[in-house]
Amino acid sequence: MIARMTHSRSQELFAEALRYLPGGVNSPVRAFRAVGGTPFFAQRAYGSHIEDIDGNSYVDYVCTWGPSILGHAHPEVIAAVKSAADRGTSFGIPNPLEVDLGRKICEWVPSVEKVRMTNSGTEATMSAIRLARGFTKRDKIIKFDGCYHGHVDSLLVKAGSGALTLGQPDSAGIPAALAALTLALPFNNIEALRHAFAQNRGEIAAVIVEPIPANAGLILPLPGYLEAMRELCTANGTLLIFDEVMTGFRLGRGGAQELLGVRPDLSCFGKVIGGGLPVGALGGRAEIMDYLAPLGPVYQAGTLSGNPLAMAAGLAQLKVLEEQNVFEKLEQLGAQLEVETRAALKTAGLDYVFYRVGSMFCLFFTSQTVRNLDDAKTSDLKRFTRVFHGLLERGIYIAPSQFETGFISAAHTQKDLAQTSEALTEALRA
């Protein structure tokens, strides 16, 4: 049974937003262009729920696109932010929390010996590319179709996430000469990677990849794929960069690289380490990281990098993750959601593909095995749109795009999962 919701205030505010903000939003996927309709405007979030300005409450599987791993407004994170704010919101000079969070990241991720804080995942990947080029003295980079690494000029080539959602995997405003330095390859195809190295011998500075791509839906690497990638990079003097903005500190203490047993040269982080505040980080081997200014010739800076509010929130969140065995709980919740999703599909007579790793998941509206972007694009987008709105009207909020990943938080409950299962079963029938 659908509990009828009203969205009049959100509709009115969106109409006003269109006057002042391009597309009415400050990040494209929020506009609901892929699914139609008017986006809702949030006024508060608590635990596993988000509430809009019309008073509707939703079980939230977007989780601020990942960082709310403990749930929204976790009391220890909020207390840490309030305490830090009482001492000043920004200093523009080193503060002790930067060192504390840097130490924590290095302790949790074996491949990281030194770390540089940034303000976003985009800044982290942008800096990683510049650092790799400066360290290797090469210009070309390799990325993979559907992997999104932020809105960096060099990386908005066959990108995922919002770029893919809007049907624009590239962007205007990027010089062709710069785009020509980026080689975009299909994910999970090691022969394509071998060929690229052979055709560009001695020219490739870095290979950047989401070890578990989460911006074209959720795609799992084939056995041996990342290991072969690591070997090719080493053999060719190329740096391997893991973009763990989505997976870092969500899939375990050491992120996807610990889970998969492959060690990169550089890693990019964001989302979880800020406790929901704007933050990113770039880390890796000391000899590479020391190429950054002020020690080395690669310039990177940021007035708000290491901001005390973000550092305090990140430290508080990682502390709870460490002390309360949150990763085990997330795996249990994820496993239950998977069982119930597969049961809903069976009830509806559908053989759609469902992938999950830990607390990250995606239901592809296709029966075809999804191993790369082309496979993901076989999804039935019209059916996804109907189900998206069916879930929303039943109080379940998932990402407004087939090409995004869902997230579970430690605040989700058995009641939340039961409501989700019932809503999905009904929405699939509609």
CATH code for the domain of 359: 3.90.1150.10
- Asked if 189 and 331 sit in the same domain, the reply is no
**CATH at residue 135:** 3.40.640.10
| Catalytic residue selected from 158, 271, 355, 416 | 271
CB 323 within 8 A of CB 149: no
| pLDDT beyond 50 at 166 | no
- Asked if 251 and 289 sit in the same domain, the reply is yes
| pLDDT beyond 80 at 414 | yes
Question: For the segment 259-280, what is each residue's pLDDT rounded down to a tens digit?
Answer: 999 999 999 999 888 888 999 9
**What's the number of domains the chain is made of?**
2
| Catalytic residue selected from 243, 265, 375, 416 | 243
CB 281 within 8 A of CB 273: yes
Last residue of a domain, which of 322, 350, 382? Answer: 322
Structure tokens at 288: 């590479």
Angle at 234 between CA 232 and CA 238, to 5 degrees: 90
| Catalytic residue selected from 61, 148, 352, 397 | 148
| pLDDT beyond 90 at 112 | yes
61 is catalytic: no
- Asked if 163 and 299 sit in the same domain, the reply is yes
| pLDDT grade for 165, boundaries at 50, 70 and 90 | very low
271 is catalytic: yes
| pLDDT beyond 50 at 331 | yes
- Asked if 410 and 351 sit in the same domain, the reply is yes
- Asked if 93 and 205 sit in the same domain, the reply is yes
CA dihedral 52→55→56→58, nearest 10 degrees, is 60
- Asked if 91 and 140 sit in the same domain, the reply is yes
- Asked if 412 and 268 sit in the same domain, the reply is no
175 vs 283, more confident: 283
- Asked if 87 and 201 sit in the same domain, the reply is yes
145 is catalytic: no
- Asked if 84 and 161 sit in the same domain, the reply is yes
Mean pLDDT check: name the lowest of 180-184, 206-210, 324-328.
180-184
Query: Tell me, what amino acid is at 411?
Result: A
Boundaries of domain holding 240: 75-322
CB 5 within 8 A of CB 54: yes
Mean pLDDT, rounded, of the chain: 93
- Asked if 419 and 383 sit in the same domain, the reply is yes
